[in-house]
A and B are shown apart, each in its own frame.
Chain A
């Protein structure tokens, strides 16, 4: 039952590590600060270990569903339960606050929507169905025919009721009977992920198939791949986050690159480093800086838009 008191030295290290993290996160960090931080981390194993334990702690929070974790951990004191609803309202609504939400007017049966790099949009269709459009996407909407045509990019469609909706891409036709689907097309590959409900997939030139909740398939000119399960964190883009769980850095950066205007390069030896965390899509440059803090790499900025990631040198 006894909790050993931490030593004075342990307290000092904890305080320094805490201050360094705040320094990094507060956004006002200079090159000199980073160099000093590097020296501090290298000065003793205890420093480096404290630094990494905070990093690990942050990772534990980042894989939690934010709204649910917020409502549970920031719960009101007993007897003040009515606060919970208010808190939940904030937790659920706030992350969507940046959406350029708007209703399609009832007479706008047809619309061609396009987003730029890093832009995301949320539309409520006339029947109450909700369409989220991701970065660099073009989609044509015909609400009367209940038909969406994806020209490029990615969208997520949630139906308001069980009236089917037709989706067309270069590689396939899809009939979503009910529920919610994520559709992504690019580089000659189309990926369909059914988040809820059921979809009939008719790949051009291949036999039709059915996808159900939690199932995903990739299609190319060579036809459909196998039906697989998928990572339910994958559509995090809708909440404005990109989530990685022990993901190879190269894969992560290719994904991040979709949201970031400009040029992003990295040296091949960084490809296999592992990333864990949840990152905000609306600040991709900040994500690069965070990577530089938690992984052995540095960001070189040629211009504001041109970033190159290189391995950290052994000595500072």
Chain B
């Protein structure tokens, strides 16, 4: 990541980091229950702050700002963990012949994580309709039957999902 900082910002960031790193780690650790995860997320938080257009020198309440950034990372962290858990549960349940090889597992998980983030924010029914279409190859009529909604609703769901993904991809 390219970060271009003026001298004043460098000093302000150093101060922010020195004064708040251990406080932020403790704050995260209480929520995560793991000092290791907290240390990782704390580093990630500072990296985000560095990369943000917000000037560190202008921060009025640095701890409130760090909490806001940290919370977003926490939410991502939980989502990732629940994805990983569902993935591992599914791997354990699947017959060996359907499961990916050990080398592919990590790669599959990374792809799933990226797609999970992409779909984030879609209503459950829309998300499910979209997944049935993309993963199980169901036609719109079959999706309508599976979800017990009209075919017209499925069309609306699918359009919403495509539009969401196109716009999310922009950012």
Ordered by A's residue number, 25 sampled pairs between the chains whose C-beta atoms are within 8 Å are A1-B52, A1-B69, A1-B72, A6-B167, A17-B163, A18-B166, A25-B139, A25-B140, A25-B158, A50-B166, A54-B165, A63-B111, A65-B98, A65-B100, A68-B90, A68-B98, A69-B112, A70-B136, A72-B87, A72-B90, A84-B86, A88-B94, A92-B95, A94-B136, A232-B104
Q: Is B155 positioned at the interface, with any CB of A under 8 Å from its CB?
A: yes
Cβ–Cβ contact A26 & B140, under 8 A = yes
| Distance in angstroms between the alpha carbons of A17 and B167 in the assembled complex | 11
Cβ–Cβ contact A22 & B158, under 8 A = yes
Q: Is A273 positioned at the interface, with any CB of B under 8 Å from its CB?
A: no
Q: Which of B10-18, B22-30, B126-134 contacts A (4 or more CB under 8 A)?
A: B126-134
**Nearest CB on B from A162, distance (A):** 15
Q: Which of A7-15, A34-42, A165-173, A263-271 contacts B (4 or more CB under 8 A)?
A: A7-15
Q: Is A198 positioned at the interface, with any CB of B under 8 Å from its CB?
A: no
A: residues with CB less than 8 A from B are 1-4, 6, 10-11, 13-15, 17-19, 21-22, 25-27, 50, 53-54, 57-58, 60-75, 78, 84-85, 88, 91-92, 94-95, 158, 180, 195-196, 214, 232, 241, 278-280
Cβ–Cβ contact B90 & A17, under 8 A = no
**Nearest CB on B from A74, distance (A):** 5
In chain B, what residue has the closest Cβ to A282? Answer: B137
In chain A, what residue has the closest Cβ to B72? Answer: A1
Q: Is B33 positioned at the interface, with any CB of A under 8 Å from its CB?
A: no
| Distance in angstroms between the alpha carbons of A279 and B128 in the assembled complex | 20
**Residues in A neighbouring B155, C-beta threshold 8 A:** 22, 26
Contact with A along B146-171 (1 / 0, CB 8 A): 00000100010011111101110111
**Nearest CB on A from B88, distance (A):** 9
| Distance in angstroms between the alpha carbons of A78 and B141 in the assembled complex | 30
Q: Which of B54, B118, B139, B165 contacts A27 (CB 8 A)?
A: B139
In chain A, what residue has the closest Cβ to B96? Answer: A196
Q: A1-B48, A27-B140, A232-B101 are in contact. Are A68 and B91 (CB under 8 A)?
A: yes
Interface SS of A by simple majority: helix
Cβ–Cβ contact B86 & A71, under 8 A = yes
**Residues in B neighbouring A180, C-beta threshold 8 A:** 97
- Give the size range of B's interface with the partner: 35 or more
**Residues in A neighbouring B94, C-beta threshold 8 A:** 67-68, 88, 92
Q: Is B135 positioned at the interface, with any CB of A under 8 Å from its CB?
A: yes
| Distance in angstroms between the alpha carbons of A233 and B155 in the assembled complex | 30
**Residues in A neighbouring B111, C-beta threshold 8 A:** 60, 63-64
Q: Which chain B residues (81-126) contact chain A, with CB distance < 8 Å? A: 82-83, 85-87, 89-91, 93-101, 104, 108, 111-112, 114-116, 118-119
**Residues in A neighbouring B141, C-beta threshold 8 A:** 27
Cβ–Cβ contact A11 & B167, under 8 A = yes
| Distance in angstroms between the alpha carbons of A62 and B137 in the assembled complex | 9
| Distance in angstroms between the alpha carbons of A41 and B151 in the assembled complex | 26
Would you list the 3 A-B pairs with minimal beta carbon distance, nearest first? A18-B162, A71-B90, A75-B86
| Distance in angstroms between the alpha carbons of A17 and B169 in the assembled complex | 14
Cβ–Cβ contact B139 & A66, under 8 A = no
Cβ–Cβ contact B158 & A74, under 8 A = no
**Residues in B neighbouring A2, C-beta threshold 8 A:** 52-53
**Residues in B neighbouring A22, C-beta threshold 8 A:** 155, 158-159, 162
In chain A, what residue has the closest Cβ to B170? Answer: A6
**Nearest CB on B from A214, distance (A):** 8
**Residues in B neighbouring A10, C-beta threshold 8 A:** 167, 170
**Residues in A neighbouring B93, C-beta threshold 8 A:** 71, 85, 88, 92
In chain A, what residue has the closest Cβ to B169? Answer: A53
In chain A, what residue has the closest Cβ to B128? Answer: A74
Cβ–Cβ contact B82 & A75, under 8 A = yes
In chain B, what residue has the closest Cβ to A158? Answer: B97
Q: A2-B53, A88-B90, A180-B97 are in contact. Are A66 and B48 (CB under 8 A)?
A: no
Cβ–Cβ contact A14 & B90, under 8 A = no
Q: A65-B98, A88-B90 are in contact. Are A73 and B169 (CB under 8 A)?
A: no
**Residues in A neighbouring B114, C-beta threshold 8 A:** 60
Cβ–Cβ contact B86 & A70, under 8 A = no
| Distance in angstroms between the alpha carbons of A196 and B111 in the assembled complex | 26
